[in-house]
Amino acid sequence: MIKTGIITLTMFCSMGLAALAQKPVEIKGTLSSPLNKQVKLYSVLEGTLEEVTAVNVKEDGAFRFMFYPEYEGFYVLGTGTAMAPSHNNTFYFKGGDNLDLSLTDTTYVLQGKLNSKENQMISKWFEHSFKVKQKSVEWARHYTGSTFKDFFPDLEALSNSSKEFIAKHKSGNPKFDQVFPILVKWDLAAFGIGYIFTPRRIHPTPEEYTPAINYINAGNFTKSAKETFLYPFGLRTLKSLTLLETMKNKISISKSIVGLETNLKFVLSDTLKGDLVLDYLSHQKDQRNFSEAFNKYGKLIVTPRQKKVLAQYESKLSPFKPGDQAFAFSFPDVNDKHVSVNDLKGKVVVIDVWATWCGPCKQEIPHIEKLGEEFKGKDIAFVSISVDQLKDKEKWLQMIKDEHMGGIQLFAGSGNEFSKHYVINTIPRFFVFDKHGKLVTADAPRPSDPKLKLILEEELKKANSK
Residue 143: the pLDDT is 64
DSSP H or E segment with residue 66: strand 62-67
Q: Give pLDDT tens digits for 381-402.
A: 999 999 999 999 999 999 999 9
Q: Are 289 and 302 in contact (CB under 8 A)?
A: no
Given pLDDT bands bounded at 50, 70 and 90, which one contains residue 370?
very high
pLDDT higher than threshold 90 for residue 10: no
Give me the pLDDT at residue 199, please: 83
pLDDT at 140 over 80: no
Q: Is 50 exceeded by the pLDDT of residue 3?
A: no
Which pLDDT does position 8 carry in this prediction? 43
Instruction: Say if strands 73-78 and 439-441 run parallel, antiparallel, or are unpaired.
Output: unpaired
3-state secondary structure at position 330: strand
Q: What is the model's pLDDT at position 464?
A: 75
Comparing C-alpha atoms, which of 279, 376, 383, 375 is closest to residue 341?
383
Residue 409, φ and ψ in degrees, nearest 5: -105, 120
What single DSSP character describes residue 145? T
pTM for the structure as a whole:
0.74
pLDDT digits (tens, 9 = 90+) for 206-233: 999 999 999 999 999 999 999 999 999 9
Higher-confidence residue: 287 or 440? 440
Q: What is the predicted pLDDT for the residue at 142?
A: 62
pLDDT at 115 over 70: yes
Q: State residue 20's pLDDT score.
A: 41
Q: Please tell me whether the peptide bond between 428 and the residue prior to it is cis, using omega within 30 degrees of 0.
A: yes
Select the more confidently predicted residue: 252 or 297. Answer: 297
Q: What is the DSSP string of 95-138?
A: TT-EEEEEEESS-EEE-SS-B-HHHHHHHHHHHHTHHHHHHHTS
CB proximity list for 297: less than 8 A, separation 6 or greater: 260, 264, 273, 274, 277
- Are 45 and 231 a contacting pair, CB within 8 Å? no
Evaluate if residue 2 carries a pLDDT over 50.
Answer: no
Residue 141 scores a pLDDT above 50: yes
> Quick check: helix, strand or coil at residue 88?
strand
pLDDT above 90 (res 451): no
For residue range 15-70, list pLDDT tens digits in order: 443 444 479 999 999 999 998 999 999 999 999 999 999 999 999 999 999 999 99
Give the pLDDT confidence of 271-303 residue by residue, as tens digits.
999 999 999 999 887 777 888 999 999 999 999
Three-state SS for 165? helix
pLDDT at 5: 47
CA distance 246 to 342: 44
State yes or no: pLDDT of 244 exceeds 70: yes
* Confidence tier at 201 by pLDDT (50, 70, 90): confident
pLDDT digits (tens, 9 = 90+) for 169-183: 999 999 999 999 999
In percent, how much of the chain has pLDDT > 70?
Answer: 94
Chain-wide mean pLDDT for the chain? 91
Q: Write b or e for each residue in 269-288: b if 16 or more Cβ atoms lie within 10 A of its Cβ, otherwise e.
A: bebbbbbbbbbbbeebbbbb
**Res 253: pLDDT:** 81
Q: What is the rounded CA–CA span in Å between residue 86 and residue 133?
A: 9
Q: How many CB atoms lie within 10 A of CB 41?
A: 24
pLDDT score of 200: 83
Given a contact cutoff of 8 angstroms between Cβ atoms, the answer to whether 6 and 53 are in contact is yes
Predicted local confidence at residue 319, as pLDDT: 79
Cβ burial of 4 (10 Å; 0-12, 13-18, 19+) is exposed
pLDDT at 454 (0 to 100): 92
8 A C-beta contact, residue 410 and residue 353: no
Residue 7: what pLDDT?
47
Of 20-34, 96-110, 413-427, the least confident: 20-34
Beta pairing class for 429-433 and 108-110: unpaired
Q: What is the mean pLDDT of residues 146-155?
A: 94
| Confidence band, pLDDT 50/70/90 cuts, at residue 135 | very high
User: pLDDT over 90 for what percent of the chain?
Assistant: 79
